[in-house]
Amino acid sequence: MSKNRRLEGAATPKEEQGEPSDVTMRIEKPYMNSSSIESTKHIAIQVVAGRDMLSFFVIKPNSHVLIGREEHAELRLLDRAVSTRHAMINCSENGSLTIIDLASTNGTFVNDLRVDRASLQTGDYLEIGDVALRVMSLSENELQHLKRVSSRLKDANKDPLTGLYRRNFLDEELPKLVARCELHNLPISCCFVDLDQFKPINDTFGHQVGDQVLINIARIIMLTVRDGDTCIRYGGDELVLIFPGITEATTVSVVNRIRHNIQKHDWTRIAPKLAVSASFGVSTRKVNESIEQWMYRADQAVYAAKTSGRNRVIPYGYIEQIAQRSKKTD
């Protein structure tokens, strides 16, 4: 078994002795197959677009959920288009859901149809005022991950718009993380993210929509990566993702999942005809490589992704392969 294969999933020497290392406590667990099945399921109503994206409420049998701006609403939405007491969702003993509009000003919509009363199924989209929500079925792991992500996004020390780490993380915390990975002989990878055609989005739809795009991108990424991965707003529409403990190939797989989740997201819930994609550049730090050079290679990779058609993931290793082939043909 190669060293990198062991490092991506196996225990470090400390763990083999029953003692978790500091870096593995941050890395937590390797990426798992998303097809793993859990029997426990939770039904939740989750905001899927906008500043309140990821706000959610778990619905239990024999209960009801008041949605509105009222202070004591189970799912409180502060959007101005939401009425004080906008709608009520009732859950029966057997788990069937019914939504009732409470004579709201702007109406309640289920899958784009205005309703006074309607049955709900998992996957249904709701519109309460200008807020888009969805009926979700979540495993216990998915629910706990959602709770942790929601909590981290509220950290006062994060970027105020996106809830991601600020750029100073790269100067203050990244060297420590790199040192811990070196100590335990673990790989560490990074990814530069650049939104495609973000300036035209701002010019066409306005900066408020642009802000909503950034907020949604941040939440999509946070839901896709592990708790131990780090997401940083580098500047404007540029993000940096840090993946301790995984190699370039695994990082590319994870980042492609992010790219797919961004592409399939229903952006028209923010603005009609809005479509969003992103380009990604990945690099894994080499032995004794400076952080600056490591970051530079990821930056070169995302530039290659942008100039070769956008909406793609390019690892720096691919650029090196092309360069080597070019030398052989010269």
End-to-end CA distance of the chain: 36
Q: How far is the CA of 86 from the CAs of 67, 103, 151, in angstroms?
A: 6, 7, 26
Q: Is residue 231 within 8 Å of residue 214, measured between CB atoms? A: no
Give the residue extent of every domain in the chain: 41-155, 158-327
Amino acid at 298: A
Q: What is the pLDDT of residue 21?
A: 38
Q: What is the pLDDT of residue 148?
A: 84
CATH 2.60.200.20 is the classification of domain 41-155: yes
Walking along the chain (330 residues) 10 residues at a time, the average pLDDT comes out as 34 35 43 50 84 81 94 90 96 94 96 96 92 91 85 75 91 94 96 97 94 93 92 94 96 97 90 95 96 96 95 92 67
Q: What is the pLDDT of residue 327?
A: 62
Note the CATH architecture for domain 158-327. Answer: 2-Layer Sandwich (3.30)
> What is the SS3 assignment for 330?
coil
Closest C-alpha among 45, 49, 35 to residue 213? 49
Q: What is the pLDDT of residue 20?
A: 36
H-helix segments, the chain: 3-9, 13-16, 22-27, 140-153, 169-172, 174-183, 198-205, 207-224, 248-264, 291-307, 316-329
The pair of structure tokens assigned to 9 is: 């999933």
Q: Is residue 54 within 8 Å of residue 46, measured between CB atoms? A: yes
Backbone φ and ψ for 90, nearest 5 degrees, come out as -105, 135
Q: What is the pLDDT of residue 314?
A: 96
Q: What is the pLDDT of residue 9?
A: 35
